[in-house]
Amino acid sequence: MSVSTLVTVSSPDFRIGTEVMLASFLAANPWFAGDILVLHSRLSDADQAALAATFPRLSCRTASPRLDAAIDTLIAGHPHLASRRDRFLSLETLLLDAPGQLLFADSDLLFRGDLAPLLAIDAPLVAAPDAAMLRGNARDADTLAEVAATGEARASFNAGLLLYAPDLALADAMWPLLDPDNWARIASQHTDQAVWNLLLRERVHLVGTTWNLMIGHRAASFAHEPVTLAEAQVLHFNGAAKPWRPDRHAAAIARDPGYADAVRLWATARADWLRTRP
User: Model pTM?
Assistant: 0.96
Beta bridge mates, 103: 6, 163
Has residue 147 got a pLDDT over 80?
yes
pLDDT bin (cut points 50, 70, 90) of residue 154 is: confident
| Higher-confidence position of 90 and 135 | 90
Beta bridge mates, 104: 7, 162
Mean pLDDT along residues 208-230: 86
Burial class (CB in 10 A: 0-12, 13-18, 19+), 97: exposed
Q: Within 13 Å, how many C-alpha atoms sit on residue 178's CB side? A: 24
- Residues 41-67 have pLDDT tens digits of 999 999 999 999 999 999 999 999 999
Q: Where are the domains of the chain?
A: 3-209
Spatial distance between the Cα atoms of 193 and 159, rounded to a whole number of angstroms: 5
- Residues 93-146 have pLDDT tens digits of 999 988 899 999 999 999 999 999 999 999 999 999 999 998 889 999 999 999
Host H or E run for residue 218: helix 218-224
- Residues 2-44 have pLDDT tens digits of 899 999 999 999 999 999 999 999 999 999 999 999 999 999 9
Spatial distance between the Cα atoms of 269 and 266, rounded to a whole number of angstroms: 5
Sequence-distant (6+) residues with CB within 8 A of 209 are 128, 129, 134, 221, 224, 225, 227, 232
In terms of Cα–Cα distance, which of 164, 162, 189, 191 is closest to 87? 191
CB 195 within 8 A of CB 104: no
Spatial distance between the Cα atoms of 164 and 230, rounded to a whole number of angstroms: 26
| Higher-confidence position of 1 and 60 | 60
pLDDT bin (cut points 50, 70, 90) of residue 260 is: very high
In terms of Cα–Cα distance, which of 217, 208, 19, 216 is closest to 105? 19
In terms of Cα–Cα distance, which of 203, 199, 211 is closest to 124? 203
Spatial distance between the Cα atoms of 268 and 23, rounded to a whole number of angstroms: 12
CB 160 within 8 A of CB 235: no
Mean pLDDT along residues 149-171: 91
Name the CA radius of gyration of the chain, rounded: 18
Spatial distance between the Cα atoms of 110 and 130, rounded to a whole number of angstroms: 18
Per-residue pLDDT at 188: 94
Q: Classify residue 127 by its DSSP letter.
A: E
Mean pLDDT along residues 160-178: 95
| Higher-confidence position of 234 and 226 | 234
Sequence-distant (6+) residues with CB within 8 A of 177 are 183, 194, 195, 198, 199
Question: Which CATH homologous superfamily contains domain 3-209?
Answer: Spore Coat Polysaccharide Biosynthesis Protein SpsA; Chain A (3.90.550.10)
Per-residue pLDDT at 1: 65
pLDDT bin (cut points 50, 70, 90) of residue 152 is: confident
pLDDT bin (cut points 50, 70, 90) of residue 218 is: confident
Residue 144 Rama label (left phi>0; alpha psi -120 to 50; beta): left
Beta bridge mates, 213: 235
| Higher-confidence position of 210 and 226 | 210
